[in-house]
Amino acid sequence: MIEQNESILKNLKDIQSLRGLLKSEMSISDPQEGKAIATIKVYNDAPVSPDGGDIVFLGVGLRIIIGSEKGMQEGSAYWLSRISKSRPSDNTELRRKYDEGTWFGSREGVGSFPVVTSDEESHGEVLFPGESVIYEIKTSEAELPYLDIRVEGSVSRRHLFHISQMMEALKHWSQPLVNETFHAVDKIDFFSPLIAIANEVPVFGSQTTFADIDKLKTEIEKGRAHLEAVIAEMNKVYPSAPNQKLRDYMKEGIGLYLKSAGMAFDATQKALSSGDMEKMKQAVEEMKGKLLKTDQVKLQRAKLMSQFGIDY
């Protein structure tokens, strides 16, 4: 009996530990003329689960208690006019996985697992792993000592115990095509020519010559030609990718990097034609930064390879 009770208590502690994944931090601006802004960031620090069982917080919000006699009489309307809210980091990729493909379960073939129900949304913010909400509260220096602000929310039982099991038998057919897609993508040299251009960019300043400008214009034209070639190659591989995650990697990972590089080339070309040294310097520095920004794309590739069990 004692062992059973200890086991129950351990399981309860494990469940309660999930509450610690709802993180919050607060900062208060220096009071100006007695007024201040309290900024509270609330975020879900839980890891993402690849096969269901996501730790999602529902009904997230602020409970505000004022310890002064006057403050106890202030209602929700008082605070609604003084609090603004923003959602800077919604995890659209994670939310999208709940609505992939076609659901077949009930007799009518409907009733799939909704990402968020209307009831869940009505009780407060819904935070999936990696998501956050930021509150800005207009307050006063005189009010601060009497404020008791608490972040509250609940762990979603519906999401926590949701199960999504992949049929391993299908890998016999899909894995060869996945491997083939990765090999085809890896054969396309997306980054090296653009990084080489970035490394050849001269430092712009008073010592910059017309020859330096002409050389950079030539490098940009090479970069444009490279972008056209790799986009054409990627468009050949894209349709045959056997998985949406692979297509997202090509479109939203590599594709956005290439688009960013193209926009940087355009901005730099325009600045070089302006004759304004300060504009040229700024555009060149921004272009170089964008061309060298490959870490996120490579990290996305590494995560995908891990998910698909590829280790070459």
DSSP assignment string, 192-221: HHHHHHHHHPPPPSTT--HHHHHHHHHHHH
Q: Enter the pTM of the model.
A: 0.70
pLDDT tens string for the chain (312 positions)?
A: 555 544 544 555 667 788 889 999 999 999 888 899 999 999 999 988 766 689 999 999 999 988 776 655 566 677 888 999 999 888 888 888 888 878 887 666 566 788 999 999 999 999 999 999 999 999 988 888 888 999 999 999 999 988 888 888 988 888 898 999 999 998 999 999 999 888 888 777 777 778 888 888 888 999 999 999 999 999 999 998 888 889 989 998 999 999 999 999 999 889 888 878 888 888 888 998 899 989 989 998 988 888 888 876
The pLDDT value recorded for residue 44 is 96
- Which residues, listed in sequence order, are joined to residue 44 by a DSSP beta bridge? 22
Residue 66 structure tokens: 């004022």
DSSP character at residue 247: H
SS3 68: coil
The pLDDT value recorded for residue 109 is 59
The pLDDT value recorded for residue 73 is 54
Distance between CA atoms of 227 and 249, rounded to whole angstroms?
17
Distance between CA atoms of 98 and 89, rounded to whole angstroms?
18
**Sign of the torsion formed by the C-alpha atoms of 115, 121, 123 and 126:** positive
Residue found under tokens 């304004």: 276
CB atoms within 10 A of CB 44: 24
Distance between CA atoms of 54 and 120, rounded to whole angstroms?
15
The pLDDT value recorded for residue 8 is 42
The pLDDT value recorded for residue 212 is 82
Distance between CA atoms of 215 and 2, rounded to whole angstroms?
80
The pLDDT value recorded for residue 27 is 96
SS3 161: coil
The pLDDT value recorded for residue 200 is 80
